[in-house]
Amino acid sequence: MGSRRMTAAEDPRGQAVLLLRLAAPLQSWGYASAFNRRETRPEPTKSGIVGLLAAAQGRAREDDISDLAALRLGVRVDQPGTLLRDFHTVSDYRGRPLLQSGVTAKGVQKPTSPAKYTHVTQRYYLQDAVFLAAVGGPGPLIEALDDAVRSPAFPLALGRRSCVPTQPIRLGLRRGGVEAALRDEPWQVSEHARNAHCRRAGGRPARVDLNATVDDDSGDDVLGDVPRSFDPLRRGFTSRRVRHVRVSAPTGIRNPDSPDQLPSGHDPFALLGW
């Protein structure tokens, strides 16, 4: 399906779907993180997507996000990427003990006891992952979000501020439901990845099977990643039911019957077996 802009009037139910391409050298979708260990889910969380959309619209942390949290979400894994552990150590260059979070009656941080000179933290990221997110809901709200992502009020990030997305992130509006959009949208990987898929498949397949997760009130899995508020004083989450599916999506590989439209014959990674 094309990326022509769709208005709410074109769907008799007044529903629309916004497609987002989430790709970056690094992504991190926080989940069940605590203290000095920051985990990432293997795919984008609803909290992360809602936060991205809220940032695009310029909403403050204290603003109501119930309308965004209520939107239906589907995420397709076009390229799972690999897990990266970022290992940090922190110490005081003067050789002094590190301070703890507790403070004295005068508001001065206390030194660690027993004295601690090195603090270790671990952060996890997804490297070179590509996801297709479909956000469905009332046409006017989805159209407003489409406009906001096109010209965001705040910089957009994929889970953490340091995880800047590659372009394009906005793929436009679609008709139909979330799952249909995930099934119909072409595979969002690089030409190199498509060529590698052709070599593995021994041909040029028209479709590829991909994993996806969609909101479903009768789904058999539960994820606790729906944000109630981003206000630092009222942060909280609730759960959603989801269904894990396999969708057959177009590969986007060019027509093999047209010699002038074949994938490039030169692949610099071919000798490496990639």
Residues 184, 111: Cα–Cα separation, whole Å:
58
Does position 273 have pLDDT exceeding 50, yes or no? Answer: no
Q: Is the Cβ–Cβ distance between 54 and 63 less than 8 Å?
A: yes
Query: Tens digits of per-residue pLDDT, 159-214?
Result: 999 999 997 899 999 988 999 999 999 999 999 999 999 999 888 999 999 999 99
Q: Specify the pLDDT at position 265.
A: 42
Q: Specify the pLDDT at position 95.
A: 85
- Cis? peptide before 114, omega within 30° of 0: yes
Domain limits, the chain: 1-87+120-178
End-to-end CA distance of the chain: 30
Nearest 5°: CA angle at 162, between 161 and 164? 90
How, if at all, do strands 82-90 and 170-174 pair?
unpaired
pTM: 0.81
Q: Specify the pLDDT at position 99.
A: 85
Range with top average pLDDT, 1-10, 153-162, 265-274 = 153-162
In terms of Cα–Cα distance, which of 138, 139, 149, 140 is closest to 172? 149
Residues 93, 109: Cα–Cα separation, whole Å:
18
Q: Is the Cβ–Cβ distance between 159 and 128 less than 8 Å?
A: no
* Residue located via tokens 């906005």: 170
Checking phi first, is residue 58 left (phi over 0); if not, alpha (psi -120 to 50) or beta? left
Q: Quote the distance between the C-alpha of residue 55 and its chain's center.
A: 14
CATH no. of 1-87+120-178: 3.30.70.2660
Query: Tens digits of per-residue pLDDT, 79-99?
Result: 999 999 988 888 888 888 888
Query: Tens digits of per-residue pLDDT, 104-129?
Result: 888 888 888 888 888 788 889 999 99
Q: Is the Cβ–Cβ distance between 30 and 38 less than 8 Å?
A: yes
3-state DSSP of 166-187? CCCCEEEEECCCHHHHHHHCCC
- Cis? peptide before 152, omega within 30° of 0: no
